[in-house]
Amino acid sequence: MRLDLPTAILAGAALVGALVGTGLYAGLRAAHAAPAGDAAPAAAPVLADTEVQARAVAAVEAQRASLRAACPGRADVTLDVTFAADGSQVMRGVRVAPVDGQDASSCALARMTPLRLPPIGARRRVRVPLALP
């Protein structure tokens, strides 16, 4: 039996497609399979809103001294921060209140590093005040 060129090309393409599809399917299944004998890591407990708020305030307080030293003037800012379940900052909004004298708000916000909390168990949004003298 002899195949003409278009039929041979079609048969070859079908064979290659089947092999690639099988390889992708097997590779993706293996990538998502849990390793044998290993238990899944325990999920962090879901913390109450008040505990997340307290941890966020402590994280801002940890930066207050360096912000005060780097930014002369006054600032009255409310940070609206969203944290992922692992405690990483996902988003930060800002409300700046007017102050008398030199405003240090833009300086403080530019120098403030993203907040990081220990795992909190679920996505949470909190508001944290930041006031500089």
Give residue 14's identity as a one-letter amino acid code. A
**pTM of the model as a whole:** 0.65
In angstroms, rounded to a whole number, what is the distance separating the alpha carbons of residues 27 and 24?
A: 5
37 pLDDT more than 80:
no
Tokens standing for residue 40: 């899944």
Q: Where are the domains of the chain?
A: 1-34, 49-132
pLDDT tens for 75-127 read 999 999 999 999 999 999 999 988 888 888 999 999 999 999 999 999 999 99
Query: Cα Rg for the chain, rounded, in angstroms?
Result: 27
Collapsing DSSP to helix, strand or coil, 116 comes out as: strand
